[in-house]
Structure 1
Amino acid sequence: MPTDDGNILLSRAETGGTHRLLLLVPGAAGSGASVHELAAFPGGGLRLVAGQTARTAALAFHKTPAGGTAVWRLSGLAEPPEQVAEVPFLFAGGVWLDERGDLLALATPYGQRTRTVVLDLSRGTVSPLPGLPEEEHLLLAAPRAGTLLTVRDSGGVHRLGVRRWGDDGPAVFPEHLSTIEGAVAPLALDPTGRRLALSVTRGVRSGVLLCDLEEGGVQEIGPAGGTVLPAARWSEDGLRLVHSAPDHPPRVVTVPATLAGHFVADDGPTPWAPAEVRRFDGPGGPIEAIVYGDPARAARMVLALHGGPDAAWPLAYEPLFQRMVAEGVAVVAPNQRGSTGYGAAHRDAIRGAWGGPDLADVLHLGRVLRAEREPGASRPMLYGASYGAYLSLLAAAAEPGLWARAAAVAPFLSGRELYEDGPAPVRAMLDRLGGRQEITGDDLGPRDLLRLADRIRLPLLLIHGERDSIIPVGHSRRLRDRLATAGRPGAEFAYMEVPGAEHDPVTGQDGHLVLERLIAFLRGASPSAGSRR
């Protein structure tokens, strides 16, 4: 997190659970930076929230051993943090309510729900947000104007509301904010509290809407391609956003205070590979995919499956895909049924049917891509992480002759098995999406990878982080042991367990080693080359 002085605050998690707060102070040109350790917090989570004034560069929220939260003020200088509060419950979010930087709205658990509370830093106290009903939650605030943007669940539909700070009356729920096509997320309110910036996602793309909360007008701005990330600030100088595209890593772009219809950004030459969006005719309707390179002519091509399943590939910079295409591997990243951003029918198609309609889409794409490959070219490969790893292994079992090889990062064995030993949020998702229901009406049968291991007759690389808190590493260990005894003539496999790594070992502390192993495998190396067990 940057400070007003140009320094950088860092929260660094270390093996063993310790979190260290560091301050990086840039030196003169070419002399590097000095590093100052401000504090060390053993165990528990630690997160930073940007401050509102010069005297508070950030607040640090630390989970205490008793399950509460200690709040520390960071000045942005090379000095220890100051504890300003400690409460017996946890916080999420963070919306400043005043220009003095004393009142911060936060979300805290409340029974089976959450509620909005106000942390008063001057007193070190927490109290409910005045006038806000329990079923309504705060999203944004314009402190100078006293305008609050809230959300309320209305029969399964989330409606955005506008109210005034300190007003006990009901919020106003503007109709024009409830009729926007696409997935909407609030970004920022302007200083006057009159205009609201929203991101709207339709398929792989997202853009920005500027909404007039008083007169009801809506203006769509920005480039046609790419993704707007959920971070923004609206000041007197204009609206600043974070934008990314396949050939542009995330960067700050500006909508001038005059609210011209386009971003101001440096769109000069880039060393990164571009991508195109392609729509395939699928068995249940169109399937949109992000394509890097030439899948028909590249020496190798991979079908990359996203995690979730309640997620989607965005049209944004993806370092893994850039590395793949730089190594001559074309990438097709589809948003098959079950992905978000394409309406309820597409999203809910796999409810109670994990590995059903989405697997049918993946197999269909594999056949189409194989048919498009030039004569003699290698078959498509599979790559997936988390739910995508599970789905890729199901595809390998369903039609092993369709694929050249498969790489799976952090797979689980089945929805039923994951429910037995997964964390509470994962079990809640399984309940919400019907992930424990089994499919029995086709040739593949129940989607249990232990049962299907004999059918996975292709070179296979399994990767899992030792400390994965989402999908326990035991799932990959059991699959490894089962594959070692399965009747898979001539099908090599290797297992790489990454010490200390979490759910995404490709981006963890030893991520460069994991990435090199993965890329070598996709380029045709033996799965067991460089094996770590």
Structure 2
Amino acid sequence: MTAPVITGTAGEETAHRSSETRRINFRFSRRGRYAACLSARGRGPLVPELWDLGGGTPVPMTLGQPAGESSWSTVVPTDGGRILLGRAQAGGVHRLLLITPGEAPAPMPTTFHGGGFRLVAGGPEGAAALAFHGAGEGRTTVWRVPAEPGPLEAVATVPAVLGGGVWLDAFGRRLALSRHGDEPGTVVLDLADGSLSPLQGLAGGEHLLLAAPRGGVLLTTLRHEGAYRLGVRGTDDDGPTVFPRPLNEIDGAVTPLAFDPEGRRLALLVTRGVRSHLLVYDLTTEEIREAALPAGALYPSAHWSTAGLHVIHTTPDRPYAPLTVLNASGAPATRRGGERAAARARSYDGPGGRIEAVVYGDPARSRQVVLALHGGPEAAWQLSFDPLFQQMAARGIAVVAPNQRGSTGYGAAHRDAIRGAWGGPDLADILHLGRVVGAGRGLGASRPMLYGASYGAYLALLAVAADPHLWSRAAVVAPFLSGRELYTDGPATVRAMLDRLGGLEEITDDELGPRDLLRLAGRLRLPLLVVHGEHDDVIPVSHSRRLRDRLAEIAPPGAELTYLEVTGAGHDPLTGRDAHLVRDRLVHFLGTGSARWS
């Protein structure tokens, strides 16, 4: 039955859920005095949240009225302690509001219709941000957004599609941008006259990542022999960029975060398996040291000012929040302990090598256990706060969230193992883990359950089809039917991913055969919950509808399907306005096996 998700009581986890906080879309102000994000507490809507990083422990302040922002809304803090809110509305409309603590939001007079829209913090004196809006025919209009309520000023309309945004001076005049299209590269927008010119000194294919205007240092990247290298050069250097060996031999996935104000040190986010590491590279000595952080994950954004290095950090028991890691004296900061269920990393022996997983609770002794499969497929679970896993843990459900073959963070061989073999090595890993976890629970214990979203939903249903007797039930969000069906129905970005990762190639040399869920529907012989957003623009909702109709047609023995289509939701209904309702239904189904809600 197609219906919106409905509400109800969830019993034992109600108190836990009422104080739960999630935060998304973090930004820093130009000089780093403030950070802002969208935050939702418990059942409440997403609202703008401002953090003062000026001293002591950062404390959040909720600003504006709870209008229920979407995850597409943008928040940009100003160095004056305000928030510029870009509110995304239906039909591709964006409205700007300036929010001052203690005052009602002030609407800005300009509304943007259609096209790409984004905000870059900072600008000339008196500006809160620059607004970039697609003007059609490959053109972009740039607007100066004032830090006080008032009209916007059109700075320039340029014949290019522009992305990124790195300030090259301390006065907000010169902004480096990525130009897309026929002539890609790094260009500089001069706000004094609206001109656009190439950034001098870069080699072909070299792109700017970060700048330290006071120190006159630039960080670039250049693809070389199939991998990206990080390069360092001076703003006024005439010679080639230097690619330091220590900087390019770091083990793990490296994301540059920020220069210190003088351009002498560089902060790097390094992902290894399920956790993030914060490394600091000294440009003079080429030494690298690691900052002390609790095991967790870092948001890929930071700001380094004279007050210290500000990062956004999370652990499984604490949501994302700003943290000053290195203060003015260079000493590492500490962070208070969490208030929710903790998780740990655990390794399992798999058919193709080690499989690392994030584990909540005791999979052997808990009343129930669920294997949770991430989307992607080029993705991975990390030691970060997850409201759904917290709610499962509160209900007494142990969680094993594995990074099976195909996941990122474990080297190219692990990541590429499923290239041209979707539902092959990764499915073998999940079936193996299901047997290991099930055997560890002993005779008479409930069998493991499955949960998955997007690609993880597809993989979870394949695992059910491969061995229905291994599992007790499965709950999935936004599954697709097969790579071929998704290629026919999906958007261009998804088709490009399928081409790149070999998602159209079929496996035919084993007992399961081609990984098409319509063909395998007769093997889905256990209780299933299928959730899909009505307006999913990544995996069309028609895929779940067709699976629902196929199961209703053939009625395989033991199959009990509950189909929930979330009205108005997109690809991830767990982050939308009705996210708490979706989580309630998922956890209730996994906890009871029943679709009935009381």
Per the normalisation by structure 2, the TM-score is 0.84
> 1:410: Cα distance to partner?
1.1
Give SS of 2:271's match. Answer: strand
| Contact in 1 for aligned 2:468/2:526 (Cα 8 Å) | yes
The answer on 1:470 being equivalent to 2:538 is yes
Match of 2:139 among 60, 68, 76: 68
Percent identity, aligned pairs only, is 62
Pairing of 1:288-437 with structure 2 (within 5 A): 288-437=356-505
> 1:527: Cα distance to partner?
3.3
Q: What residue number does 1:94 align with? A: 165
- Supply the distance in 2 between the matched residues of 1:473 and 1:65 (Cα, whole angstroms): 30
The answer on 1:178 being equivalent to 2:253 is no
> 1:67: Cα distance to partner?
5.0
- Supply the distance in 1 between the matched residues of 2:597 and 2:323 (Cα, whole angstroms): 44
Specify the code of the residue in structure 1 equivalent to 2:413: A
| Contact in 1 for aligned 2:122/2:128 (Cα 8 Å) | yes
Alignment length (residue pairs): 521
> 1:176: Cα distance to partner?
1.0
> 1:173: Cα distance to partner?
0.7
Q: What residue number does 1:26 align with? A: 101
The answer on 1:35 being equivalent to 2:110 is no
| Contact in 1 for aligned 2:294/2:315 (Cα 8 Å) | no
The answer on 1:107 being equivalent to 2:175 is no
Is 321-330 or 135-144 further displaced after alignment? 321-330
Q: What residue number does 1:267 align with? A: 336
User: Which deviations, in whole Å up to 9, do the C-alpha atoms of 1:303-349 show, x marking residues without a partner?
Assistant: 11001111101111112211221222221111000101111111111
User: Which deviations, in whole Å up to 9, do the C-alpha atoms of 1:275-303 show, x marking residues without a partner?
Assistant: 01110111111100001122222222211
Specify the code of the residue in structure 2 equivalent to 1:145: G
- Supply the distance in 2 between the matched residues of 1:210 and 1:48 (Cα, whole angstroms): 29
User: Structure 1 529/62 Cα, relative in aligned 2: closer, same or farther at 3 Å?
Assistant: farther
Pairing of 1:138-287 with structure 2 (within 5 A): 138-254=208-324, 255-260=326-331, 262=332, 264-268=333-337, 270-287=338-355
Bigger relative CO (Cα 8 Å, ≥ 6 apart)? 2
Match of 2:120 among 21, 43, 49: 49
The answer on 1:17 being equivalent to 2:17 is no
Specify the code of the residue in structure 2 equivalent to 1:359: L
Pairing of 1:110-129 with structure 2 (within 5 A): 110-111=181-182, 114-129=184-199
> 1:84: Cα distance to partner?
1.8
User: Structure 1 108/529 Cα, relative in aligned 2: closer, same or farther at 3 Å?
Assistant: farther
User: Which deviations, in whole Å up to 9, do the C-alpha atoms of 1:493-524 show, x marking residues without a partner?
Assistant: 12222222211111112222222222221222
Match of 1:80 among 141, 148, 151: 151
User: Structure 1 73/346 Cα, relative in aligned 2: closer, same or farther at 3 Å?
Assistant: same
- Supply the distance in 1 between the matched residues of 2:583 and 2:258 (Cα, whole angstroms): 36
Specify the code of the residue in structure 2 equivalent to 1:305: L
Specify the code of the residue in structure 2 equivalent to 1:389: A
Give SS of 1:515's match. Answer: helix
> 1:364: Cα distance to partner?
0.7
Question: Which structure 1 residue ranges, 4+ long, deviate > 4 Å from structure 2?
Answer: none
Specify the code of the residue in structure 2 equivalent to 1:46: F
Give SS of 1:34's match. Answer: coil
- The runs of 5 or more residues in structure 2 that have no matched partner are 1-75
Give SS of 1:73's match. Answer: strand
> 1:528: Cα distance to partner?
6.5
Alpha carbon RMSD of aligned pairs, Å? 1.8
Specify the code of the residue in structure 2 equivalent to 1:327: R
> 1:387: Cα distance to partner?
0.7
- Supply the distance in 1 between the matched residues of 2:148 and 2:443 (Cα, whole angstroms): 64
> 1:461: Cα distance to partner?
1.3
User: Structure 1 68/504 Cα, relative in aligned 2: closer, same or farther at 3 Å?
Assistant: farther
Give SS of 1:377's match. Answer: coil
User: Which deviations, in whole Å up to 9, do the C-alpha atoms of 1:213-245 show, x marking residues without a partner?
Assistant: 122111111225111221111112221111111
Specify the code of the residue in structure 2 equivalent to 1:3: T
- Supply the distance in 1 between the matched residues of 2:531 and 2:336 (Cα, whole angstroms): 37
| Contact in 1 for aligned 2:379/2:407 (Cα 8 Å) | yes
Give SS of 1:450's match. Answer: coil
User: Structure 1 403/116 Cα, relative in aligned 2: closer, same or farther at 3 Å?
Assistant: same
Specify the code of the residue in structure 2 equivalent to 1:148: L
- Supply the distance in 1 between the matched residues of 2:448 and 2:111 (Cα, whole angstroms): 48
- Supply the distance in 2 between the matched residues of 1:72 and 1:495 (Cα, whole angstroms): 45
Is 456-465 or 7-16 further displaced after alignment? 7-16
